[in-house]
Structure 1
Amino acid sequence: MRWTIKPTPDPETIEHLTKELRVEPLVAHLLAQRGISTYEEAKTFFRPELEHLHNPFLMRDMDKAVERIEFAIENNENILVYGDYDVDGITAVALVSSYLLQNYPNVATYIPDRYSEGYGVSIKGIDFAADNDISLIIALDCGVKAIEQVKYAKEKGVDFIICDHHRPGDRLPEAVAILDPKREDCEYPYKELCGCGVGFKLIQALASKQGLKTEDLLPYLDLVATAIGADIVPITEENRVLAFFGLQVINNNPRTGFKAIIERINKNSLSITDVVFIIAPRINAAGRMKHGQHAVNLLVETDLDIARQFASEIEEYNADRKNLDKKITEEALEQIRNHGEEDQFTTVVFHESWHKGVIGIVASRLIETYYRPTLVFTKSGDKLAASARSVKGFDVYNALEACSEYLEQFGGHKYAAGLTLSEEQYKNFKTHLEKVVSETINPKLLEPELSIDAQIDLNQISPRLMRILKQFAPFGPGNMTPVFMAEKLMDTGYAKGVGEDEKHLKLKVKSANQLSGIEKSYGAIGFNLGYRLDKVKNKSIFNAVFSLEENEWNGQVSLQLKLRDLR
């Protein structure tokens, strides 16, 4: 693991913020790193307000989308809310459909089957609409590349409104409206919304025409915050506001479906990390193991007893998913070893019986062992389908674009993508991808990077610092948990391995430079660092990288270091 310390921000900015905000230079340093340089920017950061959200009509085609929905309602048309089968798509469908259903009954929902239909807008979904006298489809988290499908729908008398956040291709579909902040001709000020975020802008626009305020839409923000966390979009600017208020809803007044999930977990307060690792996998499990519609049903349900029943079923899907991804990961690692592919620039593995619903998770797991761009393939009908995951700093979408001659279709982001190809092209693709990556990746990116905000002394740690750091939340891309480095530390004779097989490391550390007197020491926990125990025992001196957290034990709260790495 390579340690890199982020560049020190402009000293004048640090000095200015220190005086203006009356904070320690360390806090000013952390704010400046996050692009904050004025009192007003700091106020917006620490005190998000719903009024900081942009006017939804700044998004290109928003007026057309609203007009078409209003026309559909006036003329008693049937509307289909269509979304992808991942967390972003499922939450977006729950959001838009439940908003419309408040005042208009002719609304149905549709999630494509991961296995028979695949990603995005499907012909089967359009046929379903046409067969059921549905004349308007609102597509969420997909559709910006569905040129042929939208054309087919038009021939069947079905209009499309597309709400997407993926990069468009050279051509756009012939939809009534395409809401996508990543359109080159869209001047919307914030480009990093997730699909559910774009869906929220649509209901915000509809609500404003109905005389409602943004505050009236607060109950929908639990869905938006979940999508923001799960889709790994930056938690900056508008996303930060949506996530901040969405977390408040999750913790104080969650929708019935979330309540049914949260009841099963022993946690009083959920952070965005908890949403990502506890709520999101359960929503995802429905689409992976059974069908995404089950998760939509849970998220729109208002009867707690029924929601509990749905949550119980989803819990089973999630348990099955965990067992499967563990088994497939082991098989994939064995395949890499057997083929002698440990030293390549890419990981590309395939087995025809691997479950399509978990190959994305398996790709992420493989990166934990072989840190490099990774694709996991399985059989899907008469084609091969893959999930791609990348390492920090490398754009796997661009790499796939360079191999597009071998692919039937692909889509996604810089760090996560999906694709299909014919089986006869698999070997050619695998060879060409290895060549593309080997020629374009900076070798440094093949070693995990531990990015450090600042080097500090232990005496800079205080309850006041912790109180301020907690206000930096919610954390995520663009605003990660502050990470510090301290040099010349030593254990105070407390070091031990804890947990199953003693795989975690527990210490009590102090500065080795500390002179006699009252010694300032802190508890420290290093998950999966138990193998370093011998390196830190017996007054060994070491450097540590860590974040700060509060540890609650027997009703007592103390500060502790959450160790990331030791040297």
Structure 2
Amino acid sequence: MRWTIKPKPDPLLVERLAEELGVETPVATLLVQRGICSFEAAKKFFRPSLKDLHDPYLMKDMNLAVDRIQQAIASGENIMVYGDYDVDGTTSVVLMASYLKTLTANIATYIPDRYTEGYGVSYCGIDFAADNDISLIIALDCGIKAIDKVAYAAEKGIDFIICDHHRPGEHIPEAVAVLDPKREDCEYPYKELCGCGVGFKLIQALNTKRGGAPEVLLPYLDLVATAIGADIVPITGENRILAYHGLNVINVAPRMGFKAILAQVKKDKLTITDVVFIIAPRINAAGRMKHGLHAVNLLTEEDEATAMNFAAEIESFNAERKDTDKAITVEALAQIEDLKEQERYSTVVYHESWHKGVIGIVASRLTETYYRPTLVFTKSGEKLAASARSVKGFDVYNALEACKEHIEQFGGHKYAAGLTLEASEYENFKVKFESVVSETIDRRLLTPEIAVDAEIDLDEITPKFFRILKQFAPFGPGNMSPVFMTQNLSDTGYGKCVGADEAHLKCRVKQRGKEPVFDMIGFGLGEKFETISEKKTFKAVYSLDENEWNGKVSIQLKLKDISE
């Protein structure tokens, strides 16, 4: 692990903010590091307000999209809401279809089959629309590169509205409207919305046009918050406002589908981390193992008994997904071990029988293990399909663009992408991808980094400090849970390895032998026991957490790494 301590911000700025807010210096330091330098900015940060959402009409083509939907409603046209099979796509479909159903009964939903249709807008979906007299398709979380598909739909008399957040290619599809803040010609002030976020801006614009009260849209924010967490977009600016209020909806008035999922796992108040690790994998499991429509059915269901049945079904999909990705990860790791004598800057593995639904998860696990930009391939029909994952700081989308002569199609983000190619191009692609990565990657990025916000002493960790820190949530990219470094620590004699195979490290620490004393837990750090044994002095990097034991709540240090 590389420990990188963030530069200290301007001390005068920190001092002034601490005074304005009536907080201690460590809190003011963390705020200034996040670009919050005034009382007004801090107020917006700690009390995210829906009033601070941008005007949706600032997004290019928004007026065209709203006018076309209004026209479709007025003339009784059939509208199809189309979305990808992952969390962002399925929540987008639920959001858009649920809202439009309050305005017209003529709404159909469509999620492509991961195995027979693949990612994004499909010819099969367009044919379904044509066969069912549908004249308008609203595509969410996909479509920005569907130039040929949109043209094919136009030939059949079907209009398209695209709501996407992926990077556009050289050309934009000739749809009625293309809503994507990443369009170069779009001046929308916030570029980091997820697909469901772009969908929300469209229903916000429709609601405004129709004179609806803003509060009407509150119940949809649970879906937006879930997509924000699952799609790992920055939790800054507009996303932070949407995630904050969406989490509140999940915790205070969850839709029946969420209630049913949570009944399976017995969890009370959810954080964004819980959304990412509890709700999102279950919604994803439907599209991975069976079909994304199972997730849509669960999230639109209003009858409790039916929702419970759907949730139980999805729970079984998720259990199957876990077993499958575990088995494939073992096989993929074995492949890498066989190649380990070669010095490589990328990881590319392939087996024709690997389950297409879990290769993205396997790619993530391999990236965590070997810390290289990673692609996991499997057979998909006559072609090969892959999921790509990257390491912090390296743009895998750009790397794929540099290999595009070997790729049939690709799309995605800086850290996660998908592609398909002809089987005959696999070896050529593999060589080219390794060459691109080795020529462009900063070698430091091949060692995992822990970004440390500040060095502090244990006596600065007070209940008030922790209480304020909790209000920095929701955490995520762009607003990560603060990480601290403390030196001159020693175990008070309770240090031991715990858990299965003694994989985790547990101890109670003091600094320079003085009070206060804190419990410290390091998951997966059991092998570091030697560093803390016999009351040796060490330094640690950690975040703050709450530990509840026998009804008593205390602050605990959640260890990320330690060294002598």
TM-score in terms of structure 2 length: 0.99
Partner of 1:119: 119
Mapped contact 1:145–1:169 kept (Cα < 8 A): yes
Tell me whether 1:278 sits opposite 2:278 in the alignment: yes
Shift of the alpha carbon at 1:28? 0.6
Q: Among residues 535, 550, 558, which one is paired with 1:554 in the alignment? A: 550
Shift of the alpha carbon at 1:208? 1.1
| Structure 1 residues 530 and 342: alpha-carbon distance in aligned structure 2, compared to 1, 3 A threshold | farther
Letter in 2 for 1:282: R
Partner of 1:140: 140
Mapped contact 2:490–2:513 kept (Cα < 8 A): no
Mapped contact 1:342–1:370 kept (Cα < 8 A): no
Mapped contact 2:73–2:103 kept (Cα < 8 A): no
> Which region of structure 1 is more displaced relative to structure 2, 166-175 or 229-238?
166-175
Rounded Cα–Cα distance in structure 1 between residues aligned with 2:130 and 2:510: 69
Once the two structures are aligned, what percentage of the paired residues are identical? 69
- Residue by residue over 1:305-325, the C-alpha shift from the partner in whole angstroms, topping out at 9 and shown as x without a partner, is 111111111001000000000
Letter in 1 for 2:112: P
Mapped contact 1:287–1:357 kept (Cα < 8 A): yes
Partner of 1:250: 250
Partner of 1:482: 482
Partner of 1:207: 207
Letter in 1 for 2:554: S
Mapped contact 1:525–1:561 kept (Cα < 8 A): yes
What are the within-5 Å matches in structure 2 for residues 8-19 of structure 1?
Answer: 8-19=8-19
Partner of 1:77: 77
Partner of 2:529: 533
What are the within-5 Å matches in structure 2 for residues 233-272 of structure 1?
Answer: 233-272=233-272
Rounded Cα–Cα distance in structure 2 between residues aligned with 1:376 and 1:549: 35
What are the within-5 Å matches in structure 2 for residues 309-328 of structure 1?
Answer: 309-328=309-328
Rounded Cα–Cα distance in structure 2 between residues aligned with 1:431 and 1:213: 56
Mapped contact 1:286–1:317 kept (Cα < 8 A): yes
What are the within-5 Å matches in structure 2 for residues 289-438 of structure 1?
Answer: 289-340=289-340, 343-438=343-438
Tell me whether 1:565 sits opposite 2:561 in the alignment: yes
Mapped contact 1:50–1:215 kept (Cα < 8 A): no
- Residue by residue over 1:205-254, the C-alpha shift from the partner in whole angstroms, topping out at 9 and shown as x without a partner, is 11112221222211000000000000000000100000000000111101
Partner of 2:496: 496
Shift of the alpha carbon at 1:50? 0.8
Rounded Cα–Cα distance in structure 2 between residues aligned with 1:341 and 1:181: 44
Partner of 2:60: 60
Rounded Cα–Cα distance in structure 2 between residues aligned with 1:369 and 1:523: 28
Letter in 1 for 2:511: S
Structure 1 stretches of 5 or more lacking a match? none
Rounded Cα–Cα distance in structure 1 between residues aligned with 2:104 and 2:321: 37
Mapped contact 1:258–1:299 kept (Cα < 8 A): yes
Shift of the alpha carbon at 1:512? 2.2
Shift of the alpha carbon at 1:558? 0.8
Tell me the secondary structure at the aligned position of residue 97 of structure 1: helix
What are the within-5 Å matches in structure 2 for residues 17-28 of structure 1?
Answer: 17-28=17-28
Partner of 2:180: 180
Letter in 1 for 2:73: I
Letter in 2 for 1:143: G
- Residue by residue over 1:337-387, the C-alpha shift from the partner in whole angstroms, topping out at 9 and shown as x without a partner, is 123466310000000000000000000011121110000000001100000
Tell me the secondary structure at the aligned position of residue 182 of structure 2: coil
Tell me whether 1:542 sits opposite 2:538 in the alignment: yes
Rounded Cα–Cα distance in structure 1 between residues aligned with 2:382 and 2:430: 18
- Residue by residue over 1:97-151, the C-alpha shift from the partner in whole angstroms, topping out at 9 and shown as x without a partner, is 0111123110000000111111111110000000100000000001111100000
Letter in 2 for 1:361: I
Rounded Cα–Cα distance in structure 2 between residues aligned with 1:342 and 1:178: 45
Partner of 1:152: 152
Tell me the secondary structure at the aligned position of residue 96 of structure 1: helix
Tell me the secondary structure at the aligned position of residue 322 of structure 2: helix
Rounded Cα–Cα distance in structure 2 between residues aligned with 1:206 and 1:13: 42
Q: How many residues align?
A: 563
Mapped contact 2:373–2:396 kept (Cα < 8 A): yes
Tell me whether 1:30 sits opposite 2:26 in the alignment: no
Shift of the alpha carbon at 1:268? 1.1
- Residue by residue over 1:392-447, the C-alpha shift from the partner in whole angstroms, topping out at 9 and shown as x without a partner, is 00000000000000000010000000001111110011011111100100000000
Rounded Cα–Cα distance in structure 2 between residues aligned with 1:286 and 1:343: 38
Aligned CA RMSD, in angstroms, stands at 0.9
Rounded Cα–Cα distance in structure 2 between residues aligned with 1:469 and 1:483: 11
Rounded Cα–Cα distance in structure 2 between residues aligned with 1:300 and 1:342: 51
Rounded Cα–Cα distance in structure 2 between residues aligned with 1:289 and 1:351: 18
Rounded Cα–Cα distance in structure 1 between residues aligned with 2:529 and 2:403: 46
Tell me whether 1:523 sits opposite 2:506 in the alignment: no
Mapped contact 2:114–2:291 kept (Cα < 8 A): yes
Rounded Cα–Cα distance in structure 2 between residues aligned with 1:424 and 1:12: 62
Tell me the secondary structure at the aligned position of residue 451 of structure 2: strand
Mapped contact 2:546–2:554 kept (Cα < 8 A): yes
| Structure 1 residues 140 and 295: alpha-carbon distance in aligned structure 2, compared to 1, 3 A threshold | same
Tell me the secondary structure at the aligned position of residue 425 of structure 2: helix
Partner of 2:169: 169
Tell me the secondary structure at the aligned position of residue 537 of structure 1: helix
Mapped contact 2:139–2:161 kept (Cα < 8 A): yes
Letter in 2 for 1:560: Q
Shift of the alpha carbon at 1:455? 0.3
Shift of the alpha carbon at 1:7? 1.0
Letter in 2 for 1:491: D
Letter in 2 for 1:556: K
Tell me the secondary structure at the aligned position of residue 414 of structure 2: coil
Mapped contact 2:207–2:213 kept (Cα < 8 A): yes
> Which region of structure 1 is more displaced relative to structure 2, 263-272 or 374-383?
263-272
Shift of the alpha carbon at 1:513? 5.5
Rounded Cα–Cα distance in structure 2 between residues aligned with 1:445 and 1:15: 34
Rounded Cα–Cα distance in structure 2 between residues aligned with 1:258 and 1:82: 22
Structure 2 stretches of 5 or more lacking a match? none
Letter in 2 for 1:500: A
Tell me the secondary structure at the aligned position of residue 399 of structure 1: helix
Partner of 2:457: 457
> Which region of structure 1 is more displaced relative to structure 2, 278-287 or 207-216?
207-216
| Structure 1 residues 178 and 341: alpha-carbon distance in aligned structure 2, compared to 1, 3 A threshold | farther
Partner of 2:97: 97
Rounded Cα–Cα distance in structure 2 between residues aligned with 1:2 and 1:273: 24
Rounded Cα–Cα distance in structure 2 between residues aligned with 1:343 and 1:559: 43
Shift of the alpha carbon at 1:184? 1.1
Tell me the secondary structure at the aligned position of residue 538 of structure 1: helix
Mapped contact 2:97–2:109 kept (Cα < 8 A): yes
Partner of 2:446: 446
Tell me the secondary structure at the aligned position of residue 532 of structure 1: helix
Rounded Cα–Cα distance in structure 2 between residues aligned with 1:255 and 1:504: 37
